[in-house]
Structure 1
């Protein structure tokens, strides 16, 4: 999950979307989307070996690199 900080800058959206496109091309992104209240969004990673790997991927997200959003990675046990 990515939650916008008060300092959020719309200029980071294009690099973030490019980052997500790269993940999708690599077969690592299942779905993504913003929250309707515009406070942030979420994306679901797939084909990831570990929680540590998922956290490393999220750390490369331009949202995290610019400090405009707080990213949290959760392991999701689906049924």
Structure 2
């Protein structure tokens, strides 16, 4: 499916704790229930992970969603959002 989606890269900070994992998963489950999560997964080396937001109107909206991710609010990971034109 072609279109614009938003790639979110999450890289673990030195103070990462496993206490953030379940709240982050709950956050992703809620996005999926809203139809805004296309794909998610962790990196094999354990350094972080990524997820793809869809059905989002703008980069600003994607950034606002990501700002509420427990990985951000609990300062466990550095997240960056990239507008991604897929084909």
1:28-77 deviations in Å (ceiling 9; x for gaps): 00010000000000000000000000000000000000111000000011
Out of 7, 11, 14, the position equivalent to 1:6 is 14
CA RMSD in angstroms, aligned pairs only: 0.4
Q: 1:24 aligns to what?
A: 32
SS of 1:33 mapped into structure 2 = strand
Out of 49, 53, 57, the position equivalent to 2:57 is 49
1:23 Cα shift? 0.1
Q: Normalized per residue, which structure has more strand?
A: 2
Q: How does the TM-score come out when normalised to structure 1?
A: 0.99
Instruction: Show structure 1 runs of 5+ residues with no match.
Output: none
Q: 1:59 aligns to what?
A: 67
Structure 1 residue ranges (4+ consecutive) displaced by more than 4 angstroms after TM superposition: none
Q: How does the TM-score come out when normalised to structure 2?
A: 0.90
1:14 Cα shift? 0.2
